[in-house]
């Protein structure tokens, strides 16, 4: 069957300096350079005879997709395309790297550790996502789609296995290794040539630890880089679309960790950069190995979306394990959530599981005052009263729940981190109604917003990190199963669903200011080389140079680069690497109050073309009058011996 499909990719890298990173919640983890740039990959799908009824899928290399981003992107798309791309047929999801700049939410909680709201990072993300959609829209052409399934068992481990063991045997037996090994690949071909792919596999974006300060797209970003650039030869700075675009999306990754030894930065090795490369390579190889083995995609495209309010959702008895009806309650933060996870410890004095002081106060005071709160939230040890969200919008309460059909594939879009058994129950509910094999129903977590975690009612009792972060209580998952059941039935029957009330637009509250202090020369003129490379190197060596720099946030160089590795040719110099490459690192540090030092490193590939090379630094100076002046500086040439 012939479909229409389009692909697009764009840079969404935010501020490389002084921006609190999102994911680990550590205020001291501020950006200080770039290892791998972040990208948005957009895919438009439409039926041949229904070209004006598309499905838009965006996979962004971000820590999280907040409602702030979704609302801004949908608003921009409405200006460009009218009603073609709407909240119902657009899914914006992310890879969940923990080393991307934060400060782009309109909800207060997520900006506490990022230094507030960062307008430049927010603009880079929104502009880049919209650009990727524009490119995908312009790329729409006839294509054939295929769907393939495999297993990947050495790229994840269950970081909360004691919680997993509380689930019934029928759930545990489905995952005998306590991991979800399914890797799913949707491919796009034109005239027999592979031009695009989307892979879904659940593992956290935490191969890089909270000690890292370089922007990184983590293991899923490396997987995409390996397929597009290393295998496909993509040049991200060429100004044209790569011949192949591949995205690596999440599913139910809530309790899936890439740290195979269940310690930060541990497993397969004790080096987080190497772990990122290995776990990313395993995902890429598993996906690429499925090419050519898939079943042709046949069937219609369809979407359903509804908004629900989780602060007081009535859950029918049939969806609750105890066979009784229950209600959710307003968002409540837990001591267990503040403790962090085994791969990223949180605040001192808190721990996963029991926190006697908070557990006792909650049981003796809060739960006695409100039996309904006790039914919803106990045994959670509360650290933040539920009415705090009324004083200031800390977290999202009204959420989109989405179901997308791409022929035989069904995607359940949820704005949360879903544990594998929670995902299994959601998948079973939809599969039973639409008549699809369970393999063909996926939970697309981290989509269209964010409300923290979803655990099963059984896992919730343990109050480990994931359960403590299940903000709307023990019956949150049953509420979502009830909702997706309704969407699946409507899709099966060709019926409409009640849209519900979308969350409010909080953009007027987003106040932040960018640094406006002019740069000063510190230790020399801008671009002066303070530490020069050696005269000669071999494959496997690391080239290093240090420059008098400028503040990198003056111009984020979205779609460009701060770094070039150049090789001499007969008529000049050609670029062989930039700050999109794994082999380069761009480090920034402050020198005095308004000066900057920039260090560039290049790991010379083991198989390298011999010749003369140099490192080039591109910077931008903020002048006292407010103008931004670009400059470029190069090291003296050095020899590289093959």
Angle (nearest 5°) at CA 236 between 235 and 238: 65
Joined tokens for residue 29: 């983890």
Tokens 């657009």 belong to 90
- First CA to last CA across the chain, in angstroms? 49
Residue 588: half-sphere exposure toward Cβ, Cα within 13 Å: 29
**Positions marked catalytic:** 257
Q: 93, 65 in Cβ contact below 8 A? A: yes
Residue 604: half-sphere exposure toward Cβ, Cα within 13 Å: 26
Q: How far lies 186's CA from each of 291, 366, 568, 610, in Å?
A: 9, 48, 41, 40
The rounded distance, in Å, linking the Cα atoms of 219 and 258 is 8
Joined tokens for residue 49: 């005879």
* The 3-state secondary structure of 264-285, one letter per residue: CCECCCCCHHHHHHHHHHHHHH
Angle (nearest 5°) at CA 319 between 321 and 465: 65
Joined tokens for residue 127: 């502009």
Q: 70, 259 in Cβ contact below 8 A? A: no
Question: Angle, to 10 degrees, between the axis of helix 218-225 and the axis of helix 272-288?
Answer: 50
The rounded distance, in Å, linking the Cα atoms of 468 and 171 is 21
Give one word for 626, left, alpha or beta, with left for phi > 0 and alpha for psi -120 to 50.
left
CA dihedral 153, 156, 161, 166 (to 10 degrees): -70
Least Cα distance to 620 among 527, 559, 554 occurs for: 554
Tokens 């005071």 belong to 365
CA 315 to chain centre: 30
Q: 73, 130 in Cβ contact below 8 A? A: yes
């Amino acid at each position: 069957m012939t479909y229409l499909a389009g692909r697009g990719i764009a840079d969404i890298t935010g501020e490389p300096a002084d921006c609190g990173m999102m994911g680990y919640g550590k205020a001291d983890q501020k950006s200080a350079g770039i290892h791998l740039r972040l990208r948005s990959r957009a895919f438009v799908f439409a039926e041949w005879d229904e070209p004006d009824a598309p499905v838009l899928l965006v996979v962004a290399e971000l820590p999280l997709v907040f409602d702030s981003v979704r609302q801004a992107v949908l608003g921009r798309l409405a200006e460009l395309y009218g009603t073609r791309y709407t909240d119902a047929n657009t899914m914006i999801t992310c890879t969940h790297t923990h080393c991307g700049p934060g400060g782009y939410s309109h909800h207060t909680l997520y900006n506490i550790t990022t230094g507030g709201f960062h307008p430049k990072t927010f603009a880079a993300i929104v502009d880049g996502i919209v650009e990727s959609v524009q490119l995908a829209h312009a790329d729409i052409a006839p294509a054939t789609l295929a769907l393939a399934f495999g297993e990947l068992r050495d790229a994840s481990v269950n970081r909360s296995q004691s919680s997993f063991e509380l689930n019934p045997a029928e759930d545990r037996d489905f995952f005998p290794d306590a991991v979800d090994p399914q890797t799913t690949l949707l491919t796009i071909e034109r005239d027999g040539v592979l031009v695009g792919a989307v892979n879904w596999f659940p593992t956290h974006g935490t191969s890089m630890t909270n000690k890292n300060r370089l922007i990184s797209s983590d293991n899923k970003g490396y997987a995409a880089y390996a397929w597009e650039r290393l295998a496909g030869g993509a040049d991200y700075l060429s100004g044209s679309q790569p011949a192949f675009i591949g995205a690596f999306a999440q599913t139910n990754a809530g309790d899936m960790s890439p740290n195979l030894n269940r310690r930060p930065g541990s497993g397969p090795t004790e080096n987080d950069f190497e772990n990122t490369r290995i776990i990313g390579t395993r995902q890429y190889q598993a996906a690429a190995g499925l090419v050519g083995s898939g079943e042709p995609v046949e069937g219609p495209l369809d979407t359903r979306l509804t908004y629900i309010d989780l602060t007081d959702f009535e859950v029918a008895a049939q969806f609750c394990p105890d066979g009784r009806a229950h209600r959710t309650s307003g968002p409540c933060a837990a001591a267990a959530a503040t403790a962090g996870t085994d791969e990223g410890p949180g605040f001192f004095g808190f721990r996963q599981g029991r926190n006697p002081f908070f557990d006792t106060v909650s049981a003796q005071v809060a739960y006695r005052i409100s039996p309904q709160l006790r039914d919803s939230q106990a045994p959670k040890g509360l650290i933040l009263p539920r009415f705090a969200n009324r004083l200031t919008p800390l977290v999202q309460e009204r959420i989109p729940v989405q179901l997308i059909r791409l022929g035989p594939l069904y995607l359940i879009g949820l704005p949360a981190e879903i544990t594998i058994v929670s995902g299994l129950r959601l998948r079973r509910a939809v599969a039973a109604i639409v008549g699809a094999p369970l393999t063909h129903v996926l939970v697309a977590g981290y989509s269209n917003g964010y409300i923290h975690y979803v655990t099963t009612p059984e896992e919730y009792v343990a109050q480990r990190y994931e359960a403590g972060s299940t903000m709307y209580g023990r019956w949150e998952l049953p509420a979502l199963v009830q909702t997706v059941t309704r969407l699946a039935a409507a899709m099966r029957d060709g019926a409409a669903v009640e849209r519900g009330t979308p969350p409010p637009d909080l953009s007027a509250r987003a106040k932040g200011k960018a640094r406006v202090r002019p740069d000063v020369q510190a230790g020399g003129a801008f671009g002066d080389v303070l530490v020069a490379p050696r005269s000669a190197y071999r494959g496997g060596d690391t080239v290093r140079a240090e420059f008098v720099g400028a503040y990198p946030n003056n111009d984020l160089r979205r779609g460009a680069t701060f770094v070039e590795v150049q090789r001499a040719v007969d008529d000049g110099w050609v670029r062989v690497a930039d700050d999109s490459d794994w082999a380069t690192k761009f480090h920034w540090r402050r020198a005095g109050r308004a000066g900057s030092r920039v260090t560039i490193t290049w790991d010379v590939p083991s198989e390298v073309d011999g010749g003369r090379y140099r490192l080039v630094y591109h910077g931008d100076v903020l002048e006292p009058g407010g103008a931004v002046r670009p400059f470029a500086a190069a090291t003296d040439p050095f020899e590289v011996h093959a």
